[in-house]
């Protein structure tokens, strides 16, 4: 789609270039003051068009760059969303941890997970339920089983 716009603009530039040549020929070989004046006017208009199309091309190029960056962001976001679907929140005692669905026995820090980091919790000690108290090495959060 984007290259279509650029192709159109490039085609217009070629048409204008060809028209310019015709107008120059008329100016060089045409007779009479009227023909001369018309040719000069045509040349002026064509130069204006040429400038406008060059600006259009610059804008299209800018839009292509922006579009490319946005597409990359969307891809990154979709990848992140798909990755997040591999995890779920789990209540452990009075705390909440994040676990990978395929490996629910390994706890990750829910606070850091929300901030976009996957940090494995370190076990500090055992509780009567056997779940233990954990800490996050990154945010220093303490996740207690009880
Ligand atoms: Zn943390």
Instruction: Encode pLDDT of 50-91 as tens digits.
Output: 888 888 888 889 999 999 999 999 999 998 888 889 999 998
Query: Domain-by-domain residue ranges, the chain?
Result: 2-83, 87-143
Å from CA of 115 to ligand 1 middle = 9
If we measure between CA atoms, which residue out of 99, 84, 102 comes closest to residue 134?
A: 99
Angstrom distance (rounded) from CA 39 to CA 25:
9
Q: pTM of the full predicted structure?
A: 0.51
Å from CA of 41 to ligand 1 middle = 72
Å from CA of 99 to ligand 1 middle = 13
Question: Is 146's pLDDT higher than 50?
Answer: no
Q: What is the mean pLDDT of residues 38-51?
A: 84
46: phi > 0 → left, psi -120 to 50 → alpha, else beta; which? alpha
Å from CA of 93 to ligand 1 middle = 17
- Looking at the chain, the whole-number percentage of residues with pLDDT higher than 90 is 32
Residues β-bridged to residue 134: 123, 143
Å from CA of 5 to ligand 1 middle = 49
Å from CA of 71 to ligand 1 middle = 31
Q: Which comes out higher in pLDDT, residue 11 or 98? A: 98
Question: Is 130's pLDDT higher than 70?
Answer: no
Angstrom distance (rounded) from CA 126 to CA 3:
63
- pLDDT reported for residue 98: 94
Å from CA of 70 to ligand 1 middle = 30
If we measure between CA atoms, which residue out of 135, 133, 121 comes closest to residue 93?
A: 133
pLDDT tens sequence across 89-112: 998 878 899 999 999 989 999 999
Cα angle 103, 119, 125 (rounded to 5 degrees) comes to 80
């Amino acid at each position: 789609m984007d290259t279509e716009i650029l192709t159109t603009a490039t085609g217009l530039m070629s048409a204008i270039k060809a028209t310019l040549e015709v107008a120059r020929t008329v100016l060089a070989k045409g007779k009479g003051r009227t023909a001369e004046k018309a040719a000069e006017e045509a040349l002026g208009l064509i130069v204006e068009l040429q400038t406008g199309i060059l600006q259009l091309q610059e804008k299209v190029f800018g839009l292509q760059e922006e579009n490319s960056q946005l597409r990359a962001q969307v891809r990154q976001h979709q990848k992140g969303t798909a990755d997040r679907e591999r995890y779920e929140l789990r209540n452990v005692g009075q705390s909440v941890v994040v676990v990978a669905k395929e490996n629910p026995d390994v706890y990750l820090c829910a606070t850091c997970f929300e901030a976009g980091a996957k940090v494995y919790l370190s076990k500090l000690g055992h509780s009567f339920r056997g779940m233990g108290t954990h800490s996050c090495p990154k945010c220093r959060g303490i996740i207690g089983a009880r």
